[in-house]
């Protein structure tokens, strides 16, 4: 399983490549023949589909990571209820002090 940062880096790279190809298409549109433009358009459509699939996979990976973290937090809270209560109380005191300052 890739980490969230690795997934974000890969998605960023794919988007950069897609944007570069789009800029190439726009810059060279007047200089290219119809067949060349059709090939480039086809390549861009494939890249757009790949980006869509990557985004959906990234979303699924992120959801799975969030669910896993929530399960671990729930398990920890059930195994250590007094520690969780103490931490929540301390956080509440600190937040109350910060909000009550003039």
Q: Distances in Å between the alpha carbon of 42 and those of 16, 18, 48, 49, 88?
A: 18, 12, 10, 11, 55
pLDDT tens, residue by residue, 7-59: 677 777 878 887 887 777 777 666 666 777 777 778 778 888 888 888 888 88
User: pLDDT tens-digit profile of 71-89?
Assistant: 999 999 999 999 999 999 9
Residue 32 has what pLDDT?
67
CA pair distance 74, 76, nearest whole angstrom: 5
pTM, to two decimals: 0.55
CB 50 within 8 A of CB 14: yes
For the chain, the structural domain boundaries read 4-100
Picking from 71, 69, 49, the residue whose alpha carbon sits closest to that of residue 61 is 69
Give the per-residue pLDDT at 75: 95
Examine the pLDDT at 95 and tell me if it is beyond 80: yes
Q: Which residues of 3-14 are buried (b: 16+ CB within 10 A; e: fewer)?
A: eeeebeeeeeee
């Amino acid at each position: 399983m890739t980490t969230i940062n690795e997934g974000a880096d890969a998605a960023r790279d794919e988007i950069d490549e897609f944007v570069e190809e789009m800029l190439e298409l726009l810059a060279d549109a007047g200089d290219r023949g119809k067949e060349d433009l059709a090939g480039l358009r086809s390549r861009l459509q494939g890249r757009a589909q790949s980006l869509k699939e990557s985004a959906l996979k990234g979303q699924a990976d992120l959801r799975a990571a969030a669910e896993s973290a929530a399960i671990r937090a729930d398990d920890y809270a059930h195994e250590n209820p007094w520690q969780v209560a103490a931490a929540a109380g301390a956080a509440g005191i600190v937040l109350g002090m910060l909000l009550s300052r003039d």
